[in-house]
Amino acid sequence: MCTALKPSSLLPKGMRIQQINHLTLFKFTDELGDRLQTLLDKKRADTLTATENLELEAIGVILRLREITLLIKCRL
2 in any annotated domain: no
Residues of the chain above pLDDT 90, percent:
30
Q: How far are the Cα atoms of 28, 42, 49, 59 from residue 64, in angstroms, in the given order? A: 13, 21, 22, 9
According to DSSP, the residues that pair with 16 across neighbouring strands are: 27
| Cα 58 from Cα 16, distance rounded (Å) | 17
Residues of the chain above pLDDT 70, percent:
83
Model confidence band, residue 64 (pLDDT cutoffs 50, 70, 90):
confident
Range of the domain at 52: 8-75
Q: Evaluate if residue 14 carries a pLDDT over 80.
A: no
**Sign of torsion, CA 41 46 47 51?**
positive
Say how many domains are in the chain: 1
16 in any annotated domain: yes
24 in any annotated domain: yes
pTM to 2 decimal places: 0.69
Question: Which carries the bigger pLDDT value, residue 65 or residue 43?
Answer: 43
